[in-house]
Amino acid sequence: MENAISHVSGRHPTTDPEDEFMNVPLGYIGDTPSQRLIPAQPIVRLEKVSKVFPGRDGQPVTALRETDLAVPQGSILGVIGRSGAGKSTLIRLVNGLEKPSSGKVIVDGADIAALPEAALRHARRSIGMIFQHFNLLSSRTAAQNIALPLEVAGFDKAEIRTRVEELLALVGLSDKRNRYPSELSGGQKQRVGIARALATKPKVLLSDEATSALDPETTRSILDLLARINDELGLTILLITHEMAVIRNIAREVAVIEGGRIVEQGDVFEVFTRPQHEVTRSFLADESGRALPPYVASRLRSEATPGSQAVIRIGFRGPHATDPVLARLARDLNIEANILSGSVDEIAGRPFGTLVVGVPETSVSTTLDFLKKHGLDTEVLGYVA
Amino acid sequence: MSPEMINLIAASTGETLYMVAVSALIATLFGLPLGVFLATSAKGELFAAPWINRVLGVIVNATRSTPFIILVVAIIPFTRLIAGTSIGTNAAIVPLTIAATPFIARLIEGAIREVDQGLIEAARAFGASPLQIVLKVLIPEALPGIVLGLTLAIVSLLGFSAMVGAVGGGGLGDLGIRYGYQRFMPEMMLAVVVVLIVLVQAVQSIGDRLARHLNKRIRHA
């Protein structure tokens, strides 16, 4: 079991000549800070991937259409979409739980869909996965659950014990090692799930709605743990979610998926402060502070009438977030803006302010010009009489 | 009750326990893999082999729908082949095993199918092979259900074992028929029934207790 030992220590490729797949190094790329500075290469790449399921009534269902996606090494990429948008299929393609109908899925240089079963099982050891409902064995304690992937991979008992202790400490559950899942809270169960996913030292972690069954506070602590793992271990994380808060708190890049297509993708701050697609806007509208107060929303019309007020949403990004722009609007142009709602949020660690104001419909164009000149994003939402 | 009668009852109880224990053991040996296979070989499952699954399913159902007493008679040539005789306790083990195997297989199939599909998905995701999934995930997770199923099977076997008494199988059923019925000894009949009731109660409560001990899904106080 010498082979297994060098596996656990993780830094060296194993050299068993009989098993060429063992030659794939399982240690983290980016063990030292300098390595992390190497320009990020995509570790997961989807190329024109489509997935068609045979439907129940003979009508085939297309879950994914010609999708391209690249997850840079060491990043946290979040895929957000409504249920049925195809995000579940997308994440399950990455570790080969589903096979693409066409296109390629490349993970760490290997074409996942083309691997034979045995090689695929081996490749999966370097792709961890966590689940919405944790999927822990009820018959095993926390420690035994974490040990399972290591047993399956053929590590010896002593190595398993050491590694399990490390992992329990990493997720902060050393004192719960002998508890069964039924004796743990949801957050603790997900921590066990994370430890289990990290057991074989994967390079990529797939998160399938990992916080959707948790309350907001527990969600926050699980996301903090994932962010820490990403930072300390250099682990690439690909997560899918339907919750904006997850993306905003942890992701660096976001892909918005709808109808089996990725409709928008890029830096989280860019995408969410300047959404291009309707679906992205609708996710943002769900967020508190972005929605119009009901008394405005109910009176909103799309056409201006004489004497009505235009409702304008102003987005303040980064350096402009603190500009006293409404004061200047009043002083320089003598336009008095009426504040209807507002909030300051943090997206991907950067402040982002939203202000909804009403101005007389006669001064709409002057106001818009003025705001744009000051580098602010604007959107006319409608008019109220 | 005379000492002779007590000796008779003790000897017959021993025969019954022997028949049930041996046939339950052999039937589990065959029924467990059969049940696991039935539970994992439908279309799209771990060992997908839909045709074999269907054929086995038909055989299992056919065996289960044959009345036990007819099965005992029908397989006499086979019993003679295996046990060397068609009369006696050892001979009775053959039809008991053949009747119990498909029953146990169905019970184990049911217990395995109760295991959350998410666990199979998780195991596949961390690189477990189908055999590892069966041995390390499905059977341990289904164990409380499997134990309850085996308990039910053993209780049924106690009933069946009384029936083989009718064809010279020995055991408590034989005793009840020969002494209680044919020699008009109602106290012997009563004693046989009481012993069977005690055996069934004992088997059931041991099985329940073991299953409860193995079930970690429920929080124990």
| B12–chain A nearest CA distance, Å | 40
**pLDDT for B30 beyond 60:** yes
How far is it, in rounded angstroms, from Cα A218 to Cα A224? 10
Q: What is the DSSP letter of A301?
A: B
3-state secondary structure (DSSP) of residue B83: helix
pLDDT tens-digit series, residues A17-66: 444 443 333 334 444 444 444 456 799 999 999 999 987 777 888 899 99
- Interval A131-139 mean pLDDT: 96
pLDDT tens-digit series, residues B168-191: 788 998 898 888 888 888 999 999
How far is it, in rounded angstroms, from Cα A313 to Cα A310? 10
Do A268 and A370 fall into the same domain? no
Angle at the Cα of A171 (from A91 to A39), degrees rounded to 5?
Answer: 55
Angle at the Cα of A348 (from A345 to A354), degrees rounded to 5?
Answer: 25
- Interval A307-335 mean pLDDT: 82
Contact status, residue B172 vs residue B162, Cβ threshold 8 Å: yes
A residues 137..196 contacting B (CB < 8 A): 137-140, 148-149, 151-153, 180-183, 196
> Which domains are seen in chain B, by residue range?
3-214 (1.10.3720.10)
For A371, the token pair is: 């705001």
Do A59 and A203 fall into the same domain? yes
Non-local (6+) Cβ contacts of A17 within 8 A are: none
| ipTM for the complex shown | 0.89
- Interval A158-164 mean pLDDT: 97
How far is it, in rounded angstroms, from Cα B34 to Cα B43? 17
Question: Which of B120, B126, B131, B147 would you mutate first to test chain A, the one with the most A CBs within 10 A?
Answer: B126
Do A20 and A111 fall into the same domain? yes
Contact status, residue B104 vs residue B149, Cβ threshold 8 Å: yes
Contact status, residue A125 vs residue A26, Cβ threshold 8 Å: yes
| A125–chain B nearest CA distance, Å | 5
**pLDDT for A231 beyond 50:** yes
Residues B128, A197: C-beta atoms closer than 8 Å: no
The confidence band for A373, taking pLDDT boundaries of 50, 70 and 90, is confident
**pLDDT for A2 beyond 70:** no
Q: Is A207 on the interface with B (CB under 8 A)?
A: no
How far is it, in rounded angstroms, from Cα A14 to Cα B138? 31
Angle at the Cα of A183 (from A180 to A185), degrees rounded to 5?
Answer: 115
Number of other residues whose CB lies within 10 A of the CB of residue B193 = 14
From the list B126, B143, B217, the residue facing A182 with the nearest CB is: B217
Q: What is the DSSP letter of A29?
A: S
Do A33 and A116 fall into the same domain? yes
Do A191 and A231 fall into the same domain? yes
Calculate the alpha carbon distances from A128 to A103, A106, A202, A258 in Å.
23, 15, 6, 25
Among A258, A283, A308, the domain boundary falls at A283
pLDDT tens-digit series, residues B96-105: 999 999 999 9
With residues binned 3-state (H G I as helix, E B as strand, rest as coil), the percentages for chain A, rounded to 5, are 40, 25, 35
Residue scoring higher pLDDT (B157 or A338) = B157
Neighboring chain B residues of A22 at a CB cutoff of 8 Å: none
Among A242, A261, A283, the domain boundary falls at A283
Neighboring chain A residues of B128 at a CB cutoff of 8 Å: 121, 149, 152
How far is it, in rounded angstroms, from Cα A268 to Cα A266? 6
Closest by alpha carbon to A107, among A136, A128, A87, A89?
A128
For A354, the token pair is: 């939203």
Q: Partners of A64 in the beta sheet?
A: A51
From the list A152, A182, A199, the residue facing B128 with the nearest CB is: A152
The CATH number of whichever domain residue A35 belongs to comes to 3.40.50.300
Lowest mean pLDDT among A198-207, A329-338, B31-40: A329-338
Cα dihedral A325, A331, A337, A338 in deg (nearest 10) = 100
Do A69 and A189 fall into the same domain? yes
Residues A131, B217: C-beta atoms closer than 8 Å: no
pLDDT tens-digit series, residues A102-129: 999 999 999 999 999 999 999 999 999 9
Predicted local confidence at residue A322, as pLDDT: 62
Do A104 and A150 fall into the same domain? yes
Predicted local confidence at residue A320, as pLDDT: 65
Do A186 and A319 fall into the same domain? no
Do A350 and A237 fall into the same domain? no
The CATH number of whichever domain residue A344 belongs to comes to 3.30.70.260
Angle at the Cα of A318 (from A314 to A324), degrees rounded to 5?
Answer: 55
**pLDDT for A188 beyond 80:** yes
Helix (H) or strand (E) holding B76: helix B76-83
| B85–chain A nearest CA distance, Å | 45
The confidence band for A291, taking pLDDT boundaries of 50, 70 and 90, is low
Do A144 and A273 fall into the same domain? yes
Amino acid at A28: Y
Which burial class, exposed, middle or buried, applies to B183 when counting CB atoms under 10 A from its CB (0-12, 13-18, 19+)?
A: exposed
Residues A200, B127: C-beta atoms closer than 8 Å: yes
For A369, the token pair is: 């010009």
Predicted local confidence at residue A140, as pLDDT: 97
Contact status, residue A211 vs residue A241, Cβ threshold 8 Å: yes
Domain residues for the domain of A337 are 292-384
Which burial class, exposed, middle or buried, applies to A307 when counting CB atoms under 10 A from its CB (0-12, 13-18, 19+)?
A: exposed
* Dihedral of alpha carbons B172, B173, B176, B179, sign: negative
Residues A180, B216: C-beta atoms closer than 8 Å: yes
- The residue behind tokens 């580098």 is A375
Question: Which of A26, A53, A137 would you mutate first to test chain B, the one with the most B CBs within 10 A?
Answer: A137
Nearest Cα residue in chain B from A94: B125
**pLDDT for A339 beyond 90:** no
Mean pLDDT of chain A: 85
E strands, chain A, in order: 42-53, 61-72, 76-80, 102-107, 110-111, 127-131, 204-208, 236-241, 253-258, 261-267, 309-317, 338-347, 350-360, 377-384
| B143–chain A nearest CA distance, Å | 9
- Strands A61-72 and A42-53, by their bridges, are antiparallel
Among A235, A258, A283, the domain boundary falls at A283
- Interval B21-45 mean pLDDT: 96
Which burial class, exposed, middle or buried, applies to A304 when counting CB atoms under 10 A from its CB (0-12, 13-18, 19+)?
A: middle
Neighboring chain B residues of A199 at a CB cutoff of 8 Å: 126
Q: Is B137 on the interface with A (CB under 8 A)?
A: yes
Residue scoring higher pLDDT (A134 or A349) = A134
Task: Quote the number of domains for chain A.
Answer: 2
Non-local (6+) Cβ contacts of A245 within 8 A are: A216, A219, A287
- Nearest-10 crossing angle of helices B3-40, B50-65: 160
CA A275 to chain CA mean position, Å: 17
3-state secondary structure (DSSP) of residue A314: strand
- Strands A253-258 and A76-80, by their bridges, are parallel
Do A299 and A258 fall into the same domain? no
Q: What is the DSSP letter of B61?
A: H
How far is it, in rounded angstroms, from Cα A181 to Cα A134? 10
Do A311 and A334 fall into the same domain? yes
